[in-house]
């Protein structure tokens, strides 16, 4: 039996190094094939000018409604914009039963005014990707801080 791939989709411009790292790292953890799809346009439809952030739910819905993505087992959209849901100041990502979207800005040390650390950023991106994809496989949040499914803020 051939496993259906998980799709990684850049939503707007994403550093190719981030995409290549995820394409290399995710299969080692998930034991599933990963396909890198062509990027989508900037998600201007999701921008909230008052908050100067992007609605994660709008981007997630767009990914779920795209017919060209229906053959994937799971979909992971990456955006290089700060995301939010109305109940929270920000989110690192959001997931449904088949797709997830995650944001890169708050995973960078430079977001917090600290020097950049490419190794730490790579680990954070991988951890957040596994976390959001974990939700698509039905996993809830964990109470242990060392658990990949821990609710992180």
**CA–CA dist 80, 53 (Å, integer):** 11
Joined together, the tokens standing for residue 51 give: 């908050």
Residue among 152, 134, 132, 131 nearest 143 (CA): 152
Q: Which residues pair with 97 in a beta bridge?
A: none
Residues 6+ apart with CB under 8 A from 153: none
Instruction: Assess whether 65 carries a catalytic annotation.
Output: no
Catalytic residue among 37, 94, 128, 132: 132
Dihedral pair phi/psi, residue 127, rounded to 5°: -60, -45
* Dihedral Cα 104, 105, 108, 109, nearest 10 deg: -160
Active site residues: 132
């Amino acid at each position: 039996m051939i496993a259906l791939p998980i799709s990684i989709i850049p939503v707007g411009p994403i550093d190719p190094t981030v995409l290549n790292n995820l394409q290399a790292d995710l299969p080692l953890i998930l034991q599933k094939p990963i396909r890198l799809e062509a990027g989508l346009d900037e998600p201007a439809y999701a921008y909230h000018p008052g908050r100067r952030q992007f609605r994660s739910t709008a981007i997630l819905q767009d990914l779920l409604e795209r017919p060209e993505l229906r053959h994937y087992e799971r979909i992971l959209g990456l955006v290089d914009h700060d995301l939010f849901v109305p109940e929270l100041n920000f989110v690192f990502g959001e997931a449904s039963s088949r797709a997830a979207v995650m944001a890169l800005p708050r995973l960078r040390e430079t977001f917090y005014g600290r020097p950049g650390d490419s190794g730490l950023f790579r680990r954070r991106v991988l951890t957040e990707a596994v976390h959001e994809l974990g939700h698509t496989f039905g996993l809830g949040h964990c109470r242990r801080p060392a658990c990949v499914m821990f609710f992180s803020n």
